[in-house]
Structure 1
Amino acid sequence: MALISLPSLVIGICLATFSCYLFADYYLLWQEKIKTRFEWNEIDLYWSLVCMLPILLGHFITIWGNYFRAASQFQHSISKVTTSTDKKQRISFWERHDSTRFGFTVKFWCLSALIIIMNIYWFVLTTILSRPAYVKTYGNAAGIVRAIAYGSSQAVLLDTSIILFLVLRRSMLHAIGFTYPEIIPLHRWLGVAMLIWSTIHAAFYSAYLIMEGKFTSDIAFSDKSRGTRNMPGVFAWIGVVVMSFFALPQFRRMIYPVFIYVHRAGTFVFFIGLIMHYPTYMLWYYMLPGFILFLVDRFVPKIIQARSIHPNATCAFNTDADIIRMKLTSAEPMKPYFPGDYITVQIPGLGHIHHPFTIASYWPEDPHSITLYIRVFSDAKLSWTHDLAKMCGNEDKRITVRANVDGVFGDRRHDYLKSETMIIFVAGAAITTFMSLIKAIAAQIAVSKEPLRMQLHMICTFRTRSELHAYGSFLHQITRDPRFTSWLHVEIYVSRPDKPQTLMGAHAHVVKNDIMVPGQAVKTKKAKKNFLKRTGTKLKRALSGHTIVEDPTAPVEQDVQRSNSTKSTLHEISEEEVATSSSEPINEKGTGTRAMTYIDQPLPTFQASSADTVSKRLALFDLLTTLVLVAIPLAFWYGMRRVSWEGSSHWCIAATKKDKWTVFVCHWTYSLVPGLVHTVVMLLLGYAGIFVARKVHMRHHMRGGSSDAESAAIPYPDFNAEDEKLSVEDGNWDEGDVVYSRGRLDAKKAIQNFVDSGVGAKDKGQGLVTVFAGGPEGYVDMVEKHVQKAKWSVEFHRETWAP
């Protein structure tokens, strides 16, 4: 534990140093009026040691821990499900969610309180300290108004130094226990605070100008005086307003691409307008650290994956279920990903925006691939998934598409595994969030000598039977495989009938699973004929109605009997398969044509799959790439800060002897040039790094003997070989049956059943029961509402699709 806690301790010290810097910086730099030149001076040294150095040190430790701490923390958490029952385990106090409709954790409110205190402190301090000078110069009323305008502007400046830290996918905050979904709301709230502070500043400064009779002259481009500096401030405020408008949930979810582009453009307008409105080089002391970490966070994971993952992904669209199955592959083991982790995918032919998707596959099963299930929204405006579906093939004819990957990202806290009971309400594609978690728990149970302590219930609801079958291999396994059925309680609901015009398509996934794929690809006409014959046989079985439909009104006792009957039948089937597996026919190539099942495939742990070895190789590459991307642009920054732009005339220093326009140009030069040069160099390095990584990746694989750079060294070079692997993953169902209830899920009734059985009773205290709700936001809201009405003592987690 010492190795794990030491990096967290160092990161905590770095964050504490940065926080103290923000509290003390205004008084030391602005109020004390340290006399400096415009170029490099003692303030640069102070900022480098107290602010920049701790931030960079903490970030490098975070990157290293992102590879190694993640594995150790997950293993520590997953081991909690198989501990002795006499050991008292509860979710820690800091990880517990409040009982309000917000449902945030205790540590989230502590971080929020710290940022709120910072905002109030800066506003009050700067207003009070600047008031005497303003009152003396402009009079009592005008001076107070001007002081409030100044204080609100300083609060905006404080928030610019924090807001980009709250959108990092690999953040120091994550390293000390926060998760990305937790801090994203804080980023939005801070955006609202910036809108409020900037509006207060604009309103009170306008009131001051009106009181002085200067509003017309000082808010205009008509002269080369103060008005020329004020107009960029007006544009900066407009940029904040437009960003805030398009960030409203209604617009953000309906037209997400527009929101992204407006947000990027608005951010650029705001920062440039801020610098030109208040041109001082010291603004970069607050903005530059966030810029550096934000660009590193956006570029380095793309470079890592461009070097690792093949640019072609296989893609198949299930038209009946409206689900795309995408598989990304790599010749070398990928970065280990853990339950709940996600990647972002960009399809070059469909725009430049990366879209996030939760990883459905389990890394130890196949470190060379990532599987995604993508829900298609055909009726949504500007639907990216609808356009992607048009590019993909179908379940019987997959195609390849170009895909750029960013990630892997994810939350490293799995404190919920300390719960005695975990209940998962999941709708449709949200089941992918929990696929790898359930497999990881099963693997832990298999290798542990301790008894299972946790009870896990999964309640799934799907729109149609065909959507159920899109994930049918996983559902069939967790309801038929003894390694899951002994501890996992599953309920499945199908709310709508299938499309009548595509009945056969509704069973397409079942048919494919039933096909016995040869052990080695055979491309002869005879083999093709046999393949079609087997397909026809299996199709008849699939259409014969073997999927069991459960009566939702059946009593609980019948459900238990059916479950026990199913388990006994499964054991009989498994023994029969084992008995007949040795007498499989031999194909023309002399290899067996055994129909493998998921029972034949082990569930390895991360240690068994050598996750640490893979992490070490990628962590070194990540750190080296980050170092280059940080050091070279910073060298340009310090170089630009040492340049004296005023020449022999010293026009900036002799500002009182020059006209205001000359002074403005001088200030703009010193405030804009170093930061813009640094940012441009960093952007060029980032895009060049992605380009070089792709070229090196393809050249490396072409050395393997293939002359086709597009398909060289793919782990599954043809669809027949991939079909064989998919047949093992999908399980080759013997009967294709998954027990489900027809009709809508009654979440209120399901929750009441748990309450009546004593699960989540308040007299047992908090931290013992965890409830997840995953799916569309409306579904999650519905579950959360019933959880609150039941007055459950549970930890509630939201897993929504809403961006």
Structure 2
Amino acid sequence: MLQALGYTYADLLPLHRGMGLAFLYWIPKFMQACSIAPEVYYSFNKEADVLTAVLVSRNNLEPLKPYYPGDYVNLEIPQLSAIPHPFTIASYWAEDPYSMTIYIRTFQENEASWTGALAKLCSKGEEPLLLKTKVDGVFGDRNHDYLSSKVMVIFAAGAAITTFMSLLKAIAAQIEATAETTMKPVPIEVHLICTFRYESELYAYGDFMHRITHDIRFTSWLHTEIYVSRPDKFTQPPECPSGQCTSEFVCGRVDNESDETTSLLSRSKSKYGSVSTGCGGCGDSKGCCMESSQTTCSNSCTSSSSSSAANMSVDTILPSSPNVSDVTSPYQYKSIPTFVAASSGTISTTHAKKDLAATTLILVVPMIVFLWSRAIPWEGTYKGETHWCRTTRETDQHMTNRCLWSYAMLPGIMHVLAASLMGYLGLWAARRTNLLCRSSPLKQSPSRGKSGAATNAYHNLLNGLSFLDPDLLESPLGSNGRKHSDTVIPKGSIKFKRGRIQVNQHIQELKGLGIGCENVQSKGGDSGDGVIVFGGGPEAFVDMIHESCKKADWAVDFHPETWAP
């Protein structure tokens, strides 16, 4: 078309090359924009200082592109800023391929920051807020196969637990799939040691935390230690009629599931240490106390602090939660969906090849059609010559119109038609390939309302993976909405310990079990016998975990996982 305006092909050649590079960059973004809904659901938990973002498939017509443990996306909210912000994906693709869940920490964020402004915007109402959001990604690393390690230790602080949610679900799914195939248990052992500021923050991820502590398919290989370091923000302080009460804090670890009538002091002494106004516990003077506004930690560990604590009231400690039985019945009949391939690396490679092939066809085939259409002598013959438009010197209007139509307009139109046709064929092939259209009894199930096609496609997708509860497809948020949480976890149903996490003590306990000991590892001779340690959270927390591993001479492979990707 530009040639019709007087430009020559030599003038347009650099533009053609630039358009090819632009297509390589924009086509994947365009395809993603067509698959993800332009509006994202945001909700804010004021007690836990946690934002929840749910990205959904556009009209639920096809699943989102598979994402894997540790992947992240960039979110840009034009209403707040033009700068994208990276966030780790907390959901597990095989569990719900139609949505993506992200948790955003807002603790100590002022309104001038991006997350602070988003929290203020979402706190105005009780219902989830719909905001237009530009999504870029998914990004991640496919070079790690964490299932090759038989022992894994995870230290997570606060919102960093979201980094490992999909990883733990993927491990559980792989163990279940392997056990069904080979009838042999997978020799893997994972220790999760996590800490939260508030109990409300723990229950902000309650559905996940409850499952990993109650479902036998997690508890058989996952050993969990949960800490809560501070009372909830909106908890009322205890009454003090005399006006001479003192605030207490716990040095060490105290279980919240014990009987309320049992003395907190005797429980903490008999198990881990003492309750005092100083820093109890030996050898660790940093961060071992649950501080209050009226007490400070001293660096010394004296016997007087322990003895003086014996005569001190501990009623100001938050009351412990009631006993909750480890009932696994809610999860007994819910299978853990897994990917078709044995590892995420295989699937990601397959999809990358499909993307490359589709992009190549969309670029190359229309260009071949364009060149072929230019080689045809559409203008006919002139004085016994074909392709005379290339050599004629006559410039009358009739000749010019014929030549411009033959070598510019007609090839350009055919190029556009070929590109459109290849695009539609590519989308059709992608849907046929990704939806796993196999025969399934659920495929003939009666459709419910306008979402019947999406329901059938959803079950076709999960055929070969797992069958989910059809009720999960019902959404109170509308045709594009997804539930943030399927169940409400009651307070007291998740066991935790009050106090600060003691990393050095945990490392020594793990070393006592033979985890991370060089002499134990050297006996195996298998590269899979190594111990992987994750440190997730703020940089200061991750650095502290790393330094503790070095000081303890712990023979492990350390992986820092900060909130920034």
Bucket of the pairwise TM-score, normalised by the shorter protein: 0.5 to 0.7
Aligned with 1:757 (options 498, 513, 518):
513
Does the CA-based 8 Å contact 1:548-1:737 persist in structure 2?
Answer: no
Q: Gaps spanning 5+ residues in structure 1: where?
A: 1-39, 41-280, 282-287, 504-545, 557-564, 575-596, 634-688, 697-703, 707-712
Q: Secondary structure at the match of 2:79?
A: helix
- 1:307 corresponds in structure 2 to 34
- 1:793 corresponds in structure 2 to 555
State how far apart, in whole Å, the 1-side matches of 2:229 and 2:161 are: 16
Query: 1:772 and 2:534 equivalent?
Result: yes
- 1:491 corresponds in structure 2 to 225
Query: 1:555 and 2:271 equivalent?
Result: yes
Q: Secondary structure at the match of 1:483?
A: helix
Does the CA-based 8 Å contact 2:475-2:482 persist in structure 1?
Answer: no
Does the CA-based 8 Å contact 2:71-2:141 persist in structure 1?
Answer: yes
State how far apart, in whole Å, the 2-side matches of 1:320 and 1:626 are: 50
Matches within 5 A, 1:147-162: none
**TM-superposition CA deviations, 1:635-662 (whole Å, max 9, x none):** xxxxxxxxxxxxxxxxxxxxxxxxxxxx
State how far apart, in whole Å, the 2-side matches of 1:341 and 1:333 are: 17
Aligned with 2:477 (options 698, 719, 722):
719
State how far apart, in whole Å, the 2-side matches of 1:292 and 1:552 are: 68
Give the paired residue count: 376
State how far apart, in whole Å, the 2-side matches of 1:360 and 1:492 are: 19
Query: 1:604 and 2:334 equivalent?
Result: no
- 2:83 corresponds in structure 1 to 353
- How far did residue 624 of structure 1 move? 3.5
More strand by share: 2
Aligned with 1:320 (options 36, 47, 50):
47
- How far did residue 440 of structure 1 move? 1.4
Letter in 1 for 2:562: T
- How far did residue 789 of structure 1 move? 0.6
- How far did residue 395 of structure 1 move? 9.2
User: Residues 496 and 627 from structure 1, CA distance in 2 versus in 1: closer, same or farther, beyond 3 angstroms?
Assistant: farther
- How far did residue 753 of structure 1 move? 1.5
**TM-superposition CA deviations, 1:715-767 (whole Å, max 9, x none):** 76643899995553x4x446641111111111111112112332111222486
Q: Secondary structure at the match of 1:489?
A: strand
Does the CA-based 8 Å contact 1:301-1:408 persist in structure 2?
Answer: no
- How far did residue 416 of structure 1 move? 3.2
Does the CA-based 8 Å contact 1:347-1:402 persist in structure 2?
Answer: yes
User: Residues 788 and 615 from structure 1, CA distance in 2 versus in 1: closer, same or farther, beyond 3 angstroms?
Assistant: closer
Does the CA-based 8 Å contact 1:345-1:357 persist in structure 2?
Answer: yes
User: Residues 361 and 797 from structure 1, CA distance in 2 versus in 1: closer, same or farther, beyond 3 angstroms?
Assistant: same
- How far did residue 769 of structure 1 move? 0.7
State how far apart, in whole Å, the 1-side matches of 2:216 and 2:125 are: 28
State how far apart, in whole Å, the 1-side matches of 2:270 and 2:88 are: 35
Letter in 2 for 1:328: L
User: Residues 465 and 792 from structure 1, CA distance in 2 versus in 1: closer, same or farther, beyond 3 angstroms?
Assistant: same
Does the CA-based 8 Å contact 2:197-2:228 persist in structure 1?
Answer: yes
State how far apart, in whole Å, the 1-side matches of 2:483 and 2:340 are: 23
State how far apart, in whole Å, the 2-side matches of 1:493 and 1:292 are: 54
Q: Secondary structure at the match of 1:750?
A: helix
State how far apart, in whole Å, the 1-side matches of 2:351 and 2:151 are: 38
User: Residues 298 and 343 from structure 1, CA distance in 2 versus in 1: closer, same or farther, beyond 3 angstroms?
Assistant: farther
Does the CA-based 8 Å contact 1:300-1:626 persist in structure 2?
Answer: no
User: Residues 552 and 394 from structure 1, CA distance in 2 versus in 1: closer, same or farther, beyond 3 angstroms?
Assistant: farther
**TM-superposition CA deviations, 1:66-97 (whole Å, max 9, x none):** xxxxxxxxxxxxxxxxxxxxxxxxxxxxxxxx
- How far did residue 620 of structure 1 move? 4.2
User: Residues 780 and 333 from structure 1, CA distance in 2 versus in 1: closer, same or farther, beyond 3 angstroms?
Assistant: same
**TM-superposition CA deviations, 1:291-322 (whole Å, max 9, x none):** 998x7786454323201011111110011111
- How far did residue 393 of structure 1 move? 5.0
Matches within 5 A, 1:646-657: none
User: Residues 745 and 339 from structure 1, CA distance in 2 versus in 1: closer, same or farther, beyond 3 angstroms?
Assistant: same
Letter in 1 for 2:477: F
Matches within 5 A, 1:232-271: none
Does the CA-based 8 Å contact 1:378-1:385 persist in structure 2?
Answer: no
State how far apart, in whole Å, the 2-side matches of 1:609 and 1:758 are: 29
Query: 1:333 and 2:60 equivalent?
Result: no
State how far apart, in whole Å, the 1-side matches of 2:100 and 2:32 are: 12
Does the CA-based 8 Å contact 2:111-2:120 persist in structure 1?
Answer: no
- 1:482 corresponds in structure 2 to 216
Q: Secondary structure at the match of 2:162?
A: helix
**TM-superposition CA deviations, 1:200-238 (whole Å, max 9, x none):** xxxxxxxxxxxxxxxxxxxxxxxxxxxxxxxxxxxxxxx
State how far apart, in whole Å, the 1-side matches of 2:482 and 2:65 are: 24
Query: 1:742 and 2:498 equivalent?
Result: yes
- How far did residue 390 of structure 1 move? 2.2
Aligned with 1:411 (options 126, 141, 144):
141
Letter in 2 for 1:555: K
State how far apart, in whole Å, the 2-side matches of 1:723 and 1:404 are: 17
Matches within 5 A, 1:155-174: none
Letter in 2 for 1:752: Q
Matches within 5 A, 1:169-180: none
Q: Gaps spanning 5+ residues in structure 2: where?
A: 1-9, 238-254, 259-263, 273-321, 368-419, 428-448, 452-457, 459-472
More helix by share: 1
Letter in 2 for 1:605: T
- 1:592 corresponds in structure 2 to none
Structure 1-normalised TM-score? Answer: 0.41
State how far apart, in whole Å, the 2-side matches of 1:723 and 1:357 are: 20
State how far apart, in whole Å, the 2-side matches of 1:371 and 1:609 are: 24
State how far apart, in whole Å, the 2-side matches of 1:348 and 1:379 are: 20
**TM-superposition CA deviations, 1:621-640 (whole Å, max 9, x none):** 5644467679999xxxxxxx
Does the CA-based 8 Å contact 1:547-1:737 persist in structure 2?
Answer: no
- How far did residue 392 of structure 1 move? 2.2
State how far apart, in whole Å, the 2-side matches of 1:552 and 1:798 are: 32
Percent identity of paired positions between Structure 1 and Structure 2:
45
Q: Secondary structure at the match of 2:337?
A: coil
- How far did residue 705 of structure 1 move? 7.4
Letter in 2 for 1:345: L
Q: Secondary structure at the match of 1:737?
A: coil
State how far apart, in whole Å, the 1-side matches of 2:234 and 2:74 are: 35
State how far apart, in whole Å, the 2-side matches of 1:490 and 1:776 are: 21
State how far apart, in whole Å, the 2-side matches of 1:470 and 1:435 are: 13
Does the CA-based 8 Å contact 2:47-2:234 persist in structure 1?
Answer: no
Does the CA-based 8 Å contact 2:75-2:136 persist in structure 1?
Answer: yes
- How far did residue 342 of structure 1 move? 1.4
- How far did residue 452 of structure 1 move? 2.6
State how far apart, in whole Å, the 2-side matches of 1:414 and 1:614 are: 13
Q: Secondary structure at the match of 2:326?
A: helix
State how far apart, in whole Å, the 1-side matches of 2:364 and 2:195 are: 47
Matches within 5 A, 1:84-95: none
Letter in 1 for 2:513: S
State how far apart, in whole Å, the 2-side matches of 1:338 and 1:740 are: 29
State how far apart, in whole Å, the 1-side matches of 2:342 and 2:482 are: 22
Does the CA-based 8 Å contact 1:334-1:614 persist in structure 2?
Answer: no
State how far apart, in whole Å, the 1-side matches of 2:41 and 2:145 are: 35
State how far apart, in whole Å, the 1-side matches of 2:485 and 2:541 are: 33
State how far apart, in whole Å, the 2-side matches of 1:346 and 1:409 are: 15
Q: Secondary structure at the match of 1:352?
A: coil
- 1:7 corresponds in structure 2 to none
- How far did residue 364 of structure 1 move? 1.1
Matches within 5 A, 1:432-471: 432-448=162-178, 449-471=183-205
Letter in 2 for 1:439: K
- How far did residue 802 of structure 1 move? 3.9
State how far apart, in whole Å, the 1-side matches of 2:268 and 2:141 are: 36
After superposition, the CA RMSD in angstroms is: 4.7
